Structure 1
């Protein structure tokens, strides 16, 4: 039988670190102190395989609970994905095919278990119970909510005011997610602030079926590395599957303003130490880079181990701080000859987007043999042995 850790200090850390809201904190504290193994729920629609540090905020919290002895059920929303969750969307989301869902699921699990303990996790699919509901069941679920409650959700309200279509099936999504909690008799469900309504749907439905309502833990959202909201379209996210050097370098590239949010949400460095670091910058004038290295090293250590973290730090110091070009950070390309800078970079495969290449060039992010180039139409004779720098960390050597 699994031994449950009921250390009050650890429980208070879990209830507060990185947490936006708990419904309710007193209730969940009581559950954690009871010594009972809690059944934790995380639902996900695998609409894409790539997981980043923004996702890891919730996943690290699950890991915290697991380290106290509790178990997780990851619900793959193979049924709900066919409808789509619009919690943070202001337009109709494209539906996924069953085949694509299965493909994305495999890649999702590989990355998910980089953060969450696989041996304390069960994977279920909500088609197991949702496909068996009849129309009468759906009507009974729908009776528990009102249209006005659903329209209060920001994403729906924006579309409603803009006279954009809202499908009736979209209103059914929180009912389905809520019923997932009923089917599995969950104790606690997790999500970000954009998931609050869906989490509370489960809490509302469970008593209707004679069950104790689940607690809901709503986590803060991680800001993108550039200080804007994190999003794949903005390219300001850090994939958990990145190699050690890339994770370290991308952490070092984050703006100083978000550094301590990352400390709180993505690491488990004691908050007393985090506050001391913040104070050292604000009051003693310490260089933020000193502490950003601690942040980067801690995150790389979690995903790749301490040896790789030390190597990544050394590589960063060589290639970024000392601007050395090493074999480890150089990609060999065969493209050569006289041609415009844009054409060379396209052939070298630095990016699939011409507009992205042009932007990096114009911003001074391209060097040819240590000479900065800012005109993407400039014709250069690219010779064997030349080194081209693109962006902050990418180097290409002509072979």
Structure 2
């Protein structure tokens, strides 16, 4: 991790030192630190907030905790008084971001982009103060650029430099196709920084090439180059792969409070501390004290509960977090949660696998049978091992795994 930089020849105020500490907390890289410190000093002296850009390509409508690592940093910088600019890449999304991909990313339609953007904003409000943010769309300047402007922009970067990018280089050496339009994506993202005159751009570590492009193009256009701040990719619930919906190791920020709390409680004790650094708003000194207490013998479960409650309260409220904790305790003791869904089915007597599928507790009868074989299915607290079981008419509390429940009335 980077450490706050304070030059001997240019002493800075406590406020700038604090801003540097906030900027560096949990970050992977801040490039270059000296320039960012100078920008902070100038901002304080002139009373002019810095412009902080974060590009959003709404390729999917749902946001998970992994996405919020960068949003949390934006929130911290926003609270320091700087201008946060969530930039919707409605133009660049129609090109398709090739970052980290071995194949060409399919572009989205404008209708898909607009629908996803609306959902993004509804969710981002749970982290950022959108009333104080400067929301922009890059079609504002990209559409008017036209063919002539696009050619002039492309002349400011070389193919050789573009091929230094890892994903392009790998695809080229493996003989995989690279479409010419994919070279336009980093150019257009960099041009966004020129249009916005950004002082700092945030992104994940996988976006470093594109962020540096912004610095290069700002210099080409005679502007002071932006600094770049990259944040690590958050490991998901498994503690191995980055958080991803496709890998089913994620926590969606719109998930219900009980599920959110229970998922946080499922992570390893080791992963918990990394999540504290990247997701918690607690002071680093408080986290260090908590970690010291755990290393001294305190139950790590206490620290995990505190993290689960903080995250759950952020996206719901304190009351919901308290209720989720109690629900988790009830489930841990084998109890039945208070607010389980009610399901009415017909066709008694009904096979247990079919019942699980129709009740929404299993995606298919084959998966239901697999769950039964694994000992993960209970009816009225009794474990079920007979896949041929048929339930007569009546009301049953059906449980799958530790967290899925339904009160099924079968007629």
SS for the counterpart of 1:323 is coil
Match of 1:346 in 2: 357
SS for the counterpart of 1:223 is coil
Call closer, same or farther: CA 1:370–1:172 in 2, change over 3 Å: same
Q: Deviations over 1:331-383 (max 9, x none)?
A: 111136344433221111224456655554444332222223356x4333255
Call closer, same or farther: CA 1:95–1:350 in 2, change over 3 Å: farther
385-394 vs 172-181, greater mean Cα deviation: 385-394
Q: Does 1:98 align with 2:110?
A: yes
Match of 1:117 in 2: 129
Equivalent runs, 1:37-186 vs 2, <5 Å? 37-186=49-198
SS for the counterpart of 2:345 is coil
Match of 1:274 in 2: 287
Call closer, same or farther: CA 1:353–1:51 in 2, change over 3 Å: farther
Displacement of 1:75 in angstroms is 1.1
Equivalent runs, 1:360-379 vs 2, <5 Å? 360-373=371-384, 377-379=387-389
Match of 1:7 in 2: 15
SS for the counterpart of 1:15 is helix
Q: Deviations over 1:69-105 (max 9, x none)?
A: 1111111111111111121222222221111111111
Q: Deviations over 1:201-257 (max 9, x none)?
A: 101100111110011110111100111221111111111112222211111112323
Report the Cα distance in structure 1 between the residues aligned to 2:14 and 2:319, rounded to whole angstroms. Answer: 33
Report the Cα distance in structure 2 between the residues aligned to 1:67 and 1:259, rounded to whole angstroms. Answer: 25
16-25 vs 298-307, greater mean Cα deviation: 298-307
* Aligned partners of 1:73 and 1:124 also within 8 Å: yes
189-198 vs 383-392, greater mean Cα deviation: 383-392
Report the Cα distance in structure 2 between the residues aligned to 1:235 and 1:114, rounded to whole angstroms. Answer: 22
* Aligned partners of 1:87 and 1:153 also within 8 Å: no
Match of 1:334 in 2: 344
Displacement of 1:171 in angstroms is 1.2
* Aligned partners of 2:53 and 2:86 also within 8 Å: yes
* Aligned partners of 2:126 and 2:315 also within 8 Å: yes
Match of 1:216 in 2: 228
Call closer, same or farther: CA 1:305–1:176 in 2, change over 3 Å: same
Match of 2:10 in 1: none
Report the Cα distance in structure 2 between the residues aligned to 1:368 and 1:96, rounded to whole angstroms. Answer: 45
* Aligned partners of 2:341 and 2:407 also within 8 Å: yes
Report the Cα distance in structure 2 between the residues aligned to 1:209 and 1:231, rounded to whole angstroms. Answer: 37
SS for the counterpart of 2:134 is strand
Call closer, same or farther: CA 1:130–1:355 in 2, change over 3 Å: farther
Identify the match of residue 274 of structure 2 among 255, 258, 261.
Answer: 261
Superposition CA RMSD, Å: 2.1
Match of 1:18 in 2: 26
SS for the counterpart of 2:145 is coil
137-146 vs 86-95, greater mean Cα deviation: 137-146
Report the Cα distance in structure 1 between the residues aligned to 2:96 and 2:300, rounded to whole angstroms. Answer: 41
Report the Cα distance in structure 2 between the residues aligned to 1:323 and 1:378, rounded to whole angstroms. Answer: 25
Q: TM-score of the superposition, structure 1-length normalised?
A: 0.92
Displacement of 1:262 in angstroms is 0.8
Q: TM-score of the superposition, structure 2-length normalised?
A: 0.89
Call closer, same or farther: CA 1:18–1:359 in 2, change over 3 Å: farther
Report the Cα distance in structure 2 between the residues aligned to 1:144 and 1:189, rounded to whole angstroms. Answer: 20
Q: Deviations over 1:265-313 (max 9, x none)?
A: 11111222223333344x3343322111010111122222322222221
Match of 2:336 in 1: 325
Call closer, same or farther: CA 1:364–1:271 in 2, change over 3 Å: farther
* Aligned partners of 1:79 and 1:126 also within 8 Å: yes
Call closer, same or farther: CA 1:325–1:99 in 2, change over 3 Å: same
> Mind listing any 5+ residue stretches in structure 1 that lack a counterpart?
none
